[in-house]
Structure 1
Amino acid sequence: MNVHDLDAHPLTANQEWEWDFDHSIGSAAYHRPVLLRLRGPLRPCALREAVAAAVRRHHSLRTRYPLVDGRRMQVVDPPGSRPLPLIDLTSLPARAREDALVRIGRDDAASPFDMAGGTTVRWGLVRLAADHHALLVSPHHVAVDLWSLSVLAADIAAHYRHAAAGEPLPARPAPLQPSEWARAERERWTSEHLDAALAPWREALARLPALELPADHPSTPGPPSEGWLLCTHLDAGLSDAIRALSRRHGVTVFVTLLAAFHSMLARVCDVDRLVTYSLTARRHSRAMEDAVGLYSDYLRVFADLTGGPPFAEVLARTADRVLDGQDTQRLPNEWLLRGTDDGTRPHPLERVGFTMHNTPPVGFPLSEGIRAAAIDFDAHGQGPVTAYWRAHLFFDTFDFGSGPITTEIFTAKELYASTGPSDWARRYSAVLARVVEDDQVPLSRLPGR
């Protein structure tokens, strides 16, 4: 295979990271397909045409990632014909149809991707009745990030409405493509520019004290392979109090939750400076807002709790540090990790994570007569889960402006017993309850271990 005979391009920095991660644990271990139930007078041919239009428009939906002349590349295949396979379950009894639908989702979740020779996005349409279907969209992370799912859903829905009405698809400006982003990255991040950008990161990391998480087992080198996952939620009253506290201090709920997370770590680990990372959409420009691909990145926030300040001061400092992190975020994650790697595992910038999601679940407005709803087909087992993060501790929080704030807590199995997530949930809830009661409480009076 010759690079000059193909529509081949270098990978973006984050595609390189995803490529390495895929080959270290296998894509089937952590990818999560989307299965949407569609009730109403769906027109499968129009949906097939809409999916084909989205595949034509977004290169990441028809890209492979092989080695070309010894280099990892993204190869964009021609649009061609990408039919939406139809699986007809109408011959089965009603209960058996539902069981078969769940199996389809679970089987796809367990199926790895062939990044080099196959597609990195799988599609399927399941017919359960004349007015009852399910759409399977199964993307590899290298092709579609979380923001992209909303863009993709809106694109398909818009195309469907035109196709169902027999109207031609309207011409639209081409979105940013991953190959264009890769080229822009390499033009911007020359070796001199990269070295200059890495210098303050190396200096900041060198000044940080070691973060020793309390653990049930001795620490082992290397990223975790398995972990324990707990989904829990704060009660509605505490959740509303957190939102009210955020409004009084003019900060986002993310800043308040992160400040409490940093305060908890400072008390439990007996440090006054630390760093955590958060997943962000990284859509810095209008051209990126309409793009489908892997553009998300990580925001690093350095916490400074020296002097044992009151929580109100921690909030102000955290808000400033979040802004600082956003200013420096354009340095790609993969190159940042390589450039600051001192051999410590997990990398200090990957050890503890905290992310907040405040965008409601992806909608799919095909037409007024069709109702879409996500299908939960996970097995919900009680055993350990595959480590989706390289972190030893990761909090994934969800706040949609009302009701309980939900948190998924991951702890590495190498460090923690199965009770690890619930222990951290207890600590975190105790800190949050204390700071909403008194935002002037000093760090030394917050709950500890």
Structure 2
Amino acid sequence: MARIRQVVQIEVPLRALFEAPTISALAQYIGKLQQNTNCQPEELKPALRTIAHTGPMQLSFAQQRLWFAQVLAPESSSYNSPVFARMHGKLDRAILQRALDEIVRRHEVLRTIYREVDGQPIQLVMPAEPQALPYIDLRTFPQDQREQKALEFATQEGQHLFNLEQSPLIRTVLLQLEEDEYVLLTNVHHIAFDAWSAGIFLRELLTLYEAYSNEKPSPLAELPAQYADFALWQRSWLQGKEQERLVKYWQEQLRGAKALELVTDRPRPAIADFVGAAQPFAFPDELSQQLQALSQQEGVTLFMTLLAAFNILLYRMTNQEDIVLGTDIANRTLSETELMIGFFVNLLAMRTNLGGKPGFQEVLKRVRQMVLDAYAHQDLPFEKLVDALHLERNQNYTPLIRGLFVMQNIPLVYDQATGITLSPFQGNLVTAKFDFVIFLFETEQGLQGSVNYSTALFNPETITNLMQRFEVLLHSIVANPQAQIEALEYQTEQEKASKLNQKQSQNKSLRSKLKIARREEISVPTN
């Protein structure tokens, strides 16, 4: 949408892609907007301009929220953003080092520090310097222990505590497991990084390694702007009428909303420890294809279908008709930000009303409308939303939002360059900022994902059961999308069998009691 905006010089809402799904229809849609300025949903965003980065600069709104959170919890590693990759082939460590140095030079945010001045944070860009790349040879361990040792180092690295006043806010460690097998552990503080950034990092790493391996200069063009430019742009744009427009929408959308009350295995502690775990899951390929087909049939995205289904599951489990979940949105609405490493992601509150005993298709319509409206108003930072709604701030928990539902459609580029091939390396996630976060992504084998959850609240088997119920519900939906949500099945076969056994046991007990009562009645003498 950012590139369309650049060409036509008007704001084109995301809903245009749903209302005008073909190129010709979209052209007509844009033509009407150009002819009638009163129909345009919002003013054209101003251009992003660059400034000299020689002195103190303001943070973006998201960075400022994260800075305060980290100051309040300096011993927490929950705001780390690790990216781990396995490398196969004849790796040249000197070339890898050079590629990493170039990435840090290109992206100023990776060598920016944050200091407090008069109670407020400011950012300072530091000069580019060679980055440390510690090397650990795991071949000193027996072969059957090396993978476990790599996991231990990954977990340890993921828990590293960054000092926001010291550069750089990126760390890399290289592990060697075999002659031609390595693991690169990269860890960046979230104040400078997000999921989209991880994709940029891996793509540039491979591109630079390829060029340097062949004794060529970097083929990457210089960035048109840096993250500090975006921070200034955001603060200058999000004020006055634009901020009023966004605040008004979210105030109306979330008026009276309450946090989700999902039954937990243990009471919610007054002070969160942010300790978590992750549990992977995968849905069958056939089910994934059926969900995709249903989404196309109903004119919605796969995310909308899955979100509607998960809201129904929560409703059936909690009896809450009004459900608020969070989701991450890339928030890169300017074309200059598409290739920029930085903390752009915004947290959106997705409120779904399941009242009135609707059918699934009606819920899907409600979710579609709600999601499109939320996307159209995504530019208001969550911290501004908290202020506008006068929500109580708590350093232990995020206001209003207890759980997240995230569809990750930004694939990490695990590819190959001269002599090496990259593939994922899954470390152990041991932190949790929310009660639960469900991550989903599409693969060639079907929908897969993981659940990051607070171990202070949930047992592993509870999370397993939650996702098993979700899968059962999805099967029920694709089998009968016209069904009322109360009629959709979500209990697992094991739960059904357990309930049946319990009912049979209760009936048996009742029959025994009736027999005893009859005997006693017969044995009572009559006068």
- TM-score, length of structure 1 as denominator length: 0.86
Identify unmatched segments of 5+ residues in structure 2.
Answer: 1-51, 492-527
Between the aligned partners of 1:194 and 1:129, the Cα distance in structure 2 is: 55
Inter-CA distance 98–448: structure 2 relative to 1 (3 Å threshold): closer
- Of 22, 34, 56 in structure 1, the residue corresponding to residue 70 of structure 2 is 22
Equivalent residue runs for 1:406-421 within 5 Å: 406-413=448-455, 415-421=457-463
Note if 1:395 corresponds to 2:446: no
Q: Is 1:312 matched up with 2:361? A: yes
1:354 aligns with 2:405: yes
Match of 1:373 among 411, 420, 423: 423
Residue 113 (str. 1) matches residue 113 (str. 2): no
Tell me the amino acid that sits aligned with residue 398 of structure 1.
F
Distance 1:237 1:71, change over 3 A: same
* Aligned pairs (5 A) from 1:282-297: 282-297=331-346
Say if 1:197 and 1:67 are closer, same or farther in 2 by CA, change over 3 A: same
Within 2, Cα distance between the matches of 1:444 and 1:424?
A: 18
Q: Please say if 1:51 is aligned against 2:106.
A: no
- Distance in 1 (alpha carbons) for counterparts of 2:159 and 2:92: 29
In 2, Cα distance between the equivalents of 1:142 and 1:190? Answer: 23
Partner of 1:430: 472
- Amino acid in structure 1 at the alignment position of 2:64: E
Change (3 A) 1:209 1:298: closer
Distance 2:138 2:490 in 1: 55
Match of 2:18 in 1: none
Q: Give the match for residue 297 of structure 2.
A: 248
CA shift at 1:181, angstroms? 1.1
Instruction: State how 1:245-284 maps to structure 2 within 5 Å.
Output: 245-284=294-333
1:439: how far off? 0.5
Is 1:301 aligned to 2:350, yes or no?
Answer: yes
> How much has 1:47 moved relative to structure 2?
2.1
1:355 partner letter: V
- Kindly provide the CA deviation profile for residues 205-250 of structure 1, in whole angstroms up to 9, marking residues without a partner as x: 2244674333444556676744564333333332332222122223
**2:173 corresponds to 1:124:** yes
C-alpha contact 1:150 1:363 (8 A) present in aligned 2: no
Letter in 1 for 2:447: I
How big is the alpha-carbon RMSD for the aligned residues of Structure 1 and Structure 2?
3.1
Q: After TM superposition, give the deviation of residue 352 of structure 1 in Å.
A: 2.8
Contact 2:103–2:205 under 8 Å retained in 1? yes
Structure 1: tracts of 5 or more residues without a match: none
Q: CA deviation at 1:190?
A: 2.0
Deviation, structure 1 residue 175: 4.2
Partners of 1:426 and 1:59 lie apart in 2 by 44
Tell whether 2:110 aligns with 1:64: no
Compared CA separation, residues 160 and 442, structure 1 to 2 (3 A): same
> Size of the alignment, in residue pairs?
437
2:291–2:478 contact (8 Å) kept in structure 1: yes
Q: CA deviation at 1:312?
A: 1.6
Take 1:48 and 1:227, find their aligned partners in 2: how far apart are those partners? 33
Which stretch has the larger CA shift, 108-117 or 411-420? 411-420
Confirm whether residue 77 of structure 1 aligns to residue 126 of structure 2. yes
Task: Show the counterpart of 2:485.
Answer: 443
Does 1:7 find its partner at 2:39? Answer: no
Distance 1:43 1:301, change over 3 A: same
1:114-263, aligned counterparts within 5 Å? 114-127=163-176, 131-170=180-219, 172-190=221-239, 193-208=242-257, 211-218=260-267, 225-227=274-276, 229-263=278-312
What letter matches 1:405 in structure 2? L
Contact 1:299 1:329 in 2 (8 A): yes
Any conservation in 2 of the 1:297–1:332 contact (CA below 8 Å)? yes
Question: Shift of the alpha carbon at 1:30?
Answer: 5.7
Given that 1:39 and 1:370 are in contact with CA atoms closer than 8 Å, whether structure 2 keeps it comes out as yes
Alpha carbons of 1:128 and 1:28: their partners in 2 closer, same or farther (altered >3 Å)?
same
Give the match's secondary structure for 1:78. Answer: coil
Of structures 1 and 2, the one with the larger relative CO (CA 8 A, separation 6+) is: 1
Q: Distance in 2 between matches of 1:30 and 1:181?
A: 21
Deviation at 1:146, TM superposition (A): 1.0
Residue 40 of structure 1 pairs with residue 89 of structure 2: yes
Q: How far is 1:333 from its partner? A: 1.8
Instruction: Give the Å deviation of 1:166.
Output: 1.8
TM-score (norm 2): 0.74
Structure with the bigger percentage of helix: 2
